[in-house]
Amino acid sequence: MVKNILIVNGAVRVVGNTDILVNKITEGSLNTGTNITIFNLRDKKISNCIGCYQCRKKSTCSFQDDMTDVRGAMEKSDLMVFASPLYWCGVTGLMKTFIDRLFFYYHPHTKPLISGKKALIITPMNQKDVAHESEVLVEFYNRLFNCLKVKIVDMIFFSDIMGKKAVLNRPDYLKRAYSIGKNLINW
Ligand SMILES: Cc1cc2nc3c(=O)[nH]c(=O)nc-3n(C[C@H](O)[C@H](O)[C@H](O)COP(=O)(O)O)c2cc1C
């Protein structure tokens, strides 16, 4: 059976490290029985959550923007991949805006639409000390997906890459990303 994989890319930089890794993951997944959909958040119109709580009252969102399509893809997916470079120990603003809109699912009526789904986290970053530098991000994602009852299958960090295409000088990382893609079917 074909598995639907949704990749949400929160990178701001075009053809930066995150894009290159996402492409490698996609390349690795070819002919493995997966159907990959990529949402580059920088190309989408996703408004900030305004806290109107219409989702809690009516199970609908007051915005009709590209988040409707992303939500549709999330609900159809077997595995969601969230890729964002580490920005100030967290995700990019693009990814945070998207995540705020996941508040839609924080209600007994809407949560079942995504609860039980799986998430894989991909994080390129500059620092070498992953354990220390990723502490806040790990806590953030754990709390977020615990609230939404989404299971994090893995959090993978690509450390020590700063410049725009620095990851191209790391064949080990490119190989790893390719192999992540090849194994998406098994998660
Ligand atoms: C605004 C900003 C904040 C950053 N914050 C961190 C950080 O807290 N820790 C870290 O290790 N790297 C940090 N970085 C480095 C990026 O994570 C790194 O350059 C990454 O490879 C960028 O991915 P990209 O090429 O897809 O944009 C930051 C970079 C920027 C521009």
Widest Cα–Cα separation across the chain: 51
Is the CB of residue 160 below 6 angstroms from any atom belonging to ligand 1? Answer: no
Determine the distance separating the centroid of ligand 1 and the alpha carbon of 126, expressed in angstroms: 6
Look at residue 164 in the predicted model and tell me its pLDDT: 96
Is the CB of residue 133 below 6 angstroms from any atom belonging to ligand 1? Answer: yes
Determine the distance separating the centroid of ligand 1 and the alpha carbon of 133, expressed in angstroms: 11
Look at residue 79 in the predicted model and tell me its pLDDT: 98
What single-letter amino acid sits at 24? K
Is the CB of residue 10 below 6 angstroms from any atom belonging to ligand 1? Answer: no
25, 178 in Cβ contact below 8 A?
yes
Determine the distance separating the centroid of ligand 1 and the alpha carbon of 60, expressed in angstroms: 34
DSSP state of 83: E
Dihedral class, residue 89 (left if φ above 0, else alpha if ψ from -120 to 50, else beta): left
Ligand 1 atom closest to 12 (CA): 27
Look at residue 126 in the predicted model and tell me its pLDDT: 98
Look at residue 122 in the predicted model and tell me its pLDDT: 99
Dihedral sign for Cα 13, 17, 23, 26, please: negative
Tens of pLDDT along the chain (187 residues) come to 899 999 999 999 999 999 999 999 999 999 999 999 999 999 999 999 999 999 999 999 999 999 999 999 999 999 999 999 999 999 999 999 999 999 999 999 999 999 999 999 999 999 999 999 999 999 999 999 999 999 999 999 999 999 999 999 999 999 999 999 999 999 9
- Domains of the chain from N-terminus onward: 3-186 (3.40.50.360)
3 state SS of 116: coil
